Amino acid sequence: MTRRVAIVGVGYSDFRPATPDVAFHEMMFEAAVKAYEDAGVNPRKDIDSFIACSEDYWEGFSIFDEFVPDQLGAVLKPVCTISADGMYGVINAYLQIRTGAFDIVAVEAHSKASDIVNMWHVMAFAFDPIINRPLKMHPYVIAGLEMMKFLKDSGNTEEHCAMVVAKNKKNAMKTPYASYGSIISPEDVLTSETLFHPLKKLDASEFVDGAVVIVLAAEEVARKLTDTPIWIKGVGWCTDTPWLEFRDWSRAVYAEMAAEMAYKMARIHEPAKQIDFAEIDDKFSYKELQHMEALRLCRKGEAGLLVEEGVTERDGDLPVNPSGGFLGVGNPLEAGGLVKILEAVLQLRGEAGKRQVPKAEVAVTQIWRGVPTTSGAVVVLGRE
Amino acid sequence: MSEKIKEYPGHPLSEQDISTGKVLTTKWRPKARYMYAAGVAISKFLEELKNGRIVGRKCRKCGRILVPPRMYCEWCFRPTDEWVYVKDTGRVVTAVISYIAADRARLEKPEIIAVIELDGASPGMGILHKLGEVDPEDVKNMKVFGMRVKAVWKPPEEREGSITDILYFRPLKEGEE
């Protein structure tokens, strides 16, 4: 099993905070058409298998699987849905191609967050019904608890978190698909409304609607389709315990383990040196710092320092979230991982325009499934 | 009970065990509310139902007229091209007599639900709705297959842009088109 796999096409719909004018399937069609055009494939003839990623509670449908084939060109073809972030879909597509059963696989994920009227109630439904829900907590209490413990143990500060927000929102100003770009100072973040001390309003990303489709192909097919295949060099995923009572509140162990799995496969021994830029999960500001440390992009306790010194700026030595991350683009629910991969592919191809990072040969992308989970995935991508 | 275990300790849960607090209970009412965006195609479809018309979308490549309308053709994987009105008459593809309501209660008067291929739409396409003025015996003896039917609409002032703007489909009368 040495078959290499590359990403040969990416496409996305118009990302906006609210999309009352289009249905989810019309958004998916837009993203799919663009991705297939980018890859130069006809889904009815060329694509062997389709993977859609969605969570029924976000969609407001039961068994959402049944609603995906038409708009992806997947009618009467092998289709499956993964109830997880899109990055898990890409990993599954990679493995499907590695088996030799399929040559071209498409992956889709989207967010219709604006369709959800009671977002916080839907999120709170993820708590244990017997011992956690009766306390009637807002789900972001979990983020506050974790931020508190992470900052205390790592030595990073609220100021560092505020710098992450300012950096990402500034990066987003040059990203066409970002909805929440702005020029603000760390001071603006620190003085924004305190929600769950130490978490402030601007430390949390806002939701956004949008769909992304990614096309993957086996090496021999990929080389025929494109001059710039972006190779999947390593994949990893991991889930920690769900118990809020005894999980590790200071480290993102799920991300550490997922990264080790992916790095081993990609033969990355010194991530800080071998990786050129990172697109990692920043649904909350402190998460970017915590994930940088989990992915060994810096030593424990030094993530904030790197941000402070400008190392993670777009033109720094190790750009982190040049897209603007979720703080700048918005949090697109299960499409989050595909947004990370989309940005990494555009950067690695050299197609990122005004936001192009100077050196882009190897990238790490990472996703976390959000509160209250301890689940996440990592994909390492490269030009060679 | 298995062969080896003849008797379990205790007794089955009773109403009293619950009401007297002997059993832990926890209550959570999910407030999962959604505001589904109908989208371009279905919004137009609903708008036209309010006008007493049924609209579909035509794909010029395969020539099919899709009802309900969609902005893309799932076979050709391309955008559909134009709005086409179809008739409110058609033919029963399949039907069922439902004796049970959505909440599992026994219905006093059974309902007939049917899939109807509409005149003007491509074969096999149309609407899922209720049949009225049909003898359930005609379902049981399979005469319902291919039965010609027509929509019975709500009065215009009562329509609200919903699938229920059509009350049901009834058999076409002799000589009626």
All structural domains of chain A with their residue ranges: 5-117+209-230, 127-205+232-382
> Do the beta carbons of residue A278 and residue A319 sit within 8 Å?
yes
Q: Round to whole Å and give the CA distance between A156 and A125.
A: 31
Say how many C-beta atoms besides its own lie within 10 A of residue B91's C-beta. 17
**Tens digits of residue pLDDT in A363-377:** 999 999 999 999 999
Considering the domain boundaries, does residue B140 fall inside one?
A: yes
| Pick from A8, A6, A73: nearest CA to A40 | A8
Q: Round to whole Å and give the CA distance between A171 and B80.
A: 38
Decide whether A5-117+209-230 matches A127-205+232-382 in CATH topology: yes
Q: From the CA of A327, how many Å to the nearest CA of chain B?
A: 24
Q: Is B7 exposed, middle or buried (0-12, 13-18, 19+ CB in 10 A)?
A: exposed
The region, left, alpha or beta by phi > 0 then psi within -120 to 50, assigned to residue A331 is beta
Interchain pair B36, A42: CB under 8 A: no
Mutating which of A13, A19, A21, A45 best tests the B interface, going by the most B Cβ atoms within 10 A? A21
Q: Which of residues 29-88 of A touch B (CB under 8 A)?
A: 29, 33, 36, 42-44, 57, 60, 69-71, 73, 75
Please state, for a pLDDT cut of 90, what percent of chain A lies above it. Answer: 98
Does residue A365 sit in helix, strand or coil?
Answer: strand
Q: Round to whole Å and give the CA distance between A292 and A303.
A: 6
* pLDDT at res. B100: 95
- Based on its alpha-carbon atoms, the radius of gyration of chain A, rounded to whole angstroms, reads 19
Amino acid identity at B72? Y
Report how many domains make up chain B.
1
> Do the beta carbons of residue B78 and residue B62 sit within 8 Å?
no
* pLDDT at res. B174: 85
| Pick from A305, A252, A287, A298: nearest CA to A147 | A287
Considering the domain boundaries, does residue B66 fall inside one?
A: yes
**Tens digits of residue pLDDT in A142-197:** 999 999 999 999 999 999 999 999 999 999 999 999 999 999 999 999 999 999 99
Token pair of B126, please?
Answer: 């149309």
Neighboring chain A residues of B24 at a CB cutoff of 8 Å: 130
* pLDDT at res. A157: 98
Interchain CB contact of B62 with A (< 8 Å) = no
* pLDDT at res. B175: 85
Please give the C-alpha separations between residue A175 and each of A214, A347, A351, A367, B122, in angstroms, as whole numbers: 19, 12, 12, 19, 44
Helix ranges (DSSP H) in chain A: 24-39, 56-59, 69-72, 86-98, 119-124, 141-154, 158-172, 186-190, 219-225, 253-266, 271-274, 285-294, 303-308, 325-329, 336-349
* pLDDT at res. A370: 96
Q: Round to whole Å and give the CA distance between B39 and A24.
A: 8
Neighboring chain B residues of A57 at a CB cutoff of 8 Å: 32
Interchain pair A133, B26: CB under 8 A: yes
Q: DSSP letter for A207, please.
A: B
H/E stretch holding B154 reads none
What would the mean pLDDT of A334-344 be, rounded to a whole number?
98
Q: From the CA of B165, how many Å to the nearest CA of chain A?
A: 22
Amino acid identity at A305? L
Q: Round to whole Å and give the CA distance between A7 and A232.
A: 7
What angle, 0 to 180 degrees and rounded to 10, lies between the N-to-C axes of helices A141-154 and A285-294? Answer: 50
At residue A1 the predicted structure's pLDDT band, cuts being 50, 70 and 90, is low
Domain coverage including residue B60: 39-171
At residue A108 the predicted structure's pLDDT band, cuts being 50, 70 and 90, is very high
List the single residue in A with minimal CA-CA distance to B69.
A26
> Do the beta carbons of residue A378 and residue A237 sit within 8 Å?
yes
**Tens digits of residue pLDDT in A46-84:** 999 999 999 999 999 999 999 999 999 999 999 999 999
Q: Which of residues 22-41 of B touch A (CB under 8 A)?
A: 24, 26, 28, 30-41
Q: From the CA of A73, how many Å to the nearest CA of chain B?
A: 6
Mean pLDDT of chain A: 97
At residue A210 the predicted structure's pLDDT band, cuts being 50, 70 and 90, is very high
Which CATH class, in words, describes the domain spanning A127-205+232-382?
A: alpha beta
Neighboring chain A residues of B36 at a CB cutoff of 8 Å: 23, 60, 115
* pLDDT at res. B95: 98
pLDDT in tens, chain B (177 residues): 577 887 778 888 888 888 888 888 888 888 899 999 999 999 999 999 999 999 999 999 999 999 999 999 999 999 999 999 999 999 999 999 999 999 999 999 999 999 999 999 999 999 999 999 999 999 999 999 999 999 999 999 999 999 999 999 999 998 887
Q: What's the CATH number for A5-117+209-230?
A: 3.40.47.10
| Pick from A287, A279, A262: nearest CA to A363 | A279
> Do the beta carbons of residue B109 and residue B115 sit within 8 Å?
no
Interchain pair A118, B32: CB under 8 A: yes
Considering the domain boundaries, does residue B64 fall inside one?
A: yes
Token pair of A367, please?
Answer: 């996703």
Q: Round to whole Å and give the CA distance between A301 and A144.
A: 19
List the single residue in A with minimal CA-CA distance to B77.
A73
Does residue B104 sit in helix, strand or coil?
Answer: coil
Dihedral sign computed on CA atoms, order A371, A377, A378, A381: negative
| Pick from A234, A302, A296: nearest CA to A271 | A296
* pLDDT at res. B1: 58
Q: Which of residues 134-173 of A touch B (CB under 8 A)?
A: 134
Neighboring chain A residues of B76 at a CB cutoff of 8 Å: 44
Q: Round to whole Å and give the CA distance between B71 and A95.
A: 33
Q: Round to whole Å and give the CA distance between A379 and A95.
A: 13
Considering the domain boundaries, does residue B8 fall inside one?
A: no
Distance between start and end Cα atoms, chain B:
65
Q: Phi/psi of residue A209, each to 5°?
A: -100, 150
* pLDDT at res. B30: 83
Q: Phi/psi of residue A22, each to 5°?
A: -130, 150
Token pair of A151, please?
Answer: 């900052």
Token pair of A14, please?
Answer: 């118009």
Does residue B126 sit in helix, strand or coil?
Answer: strand
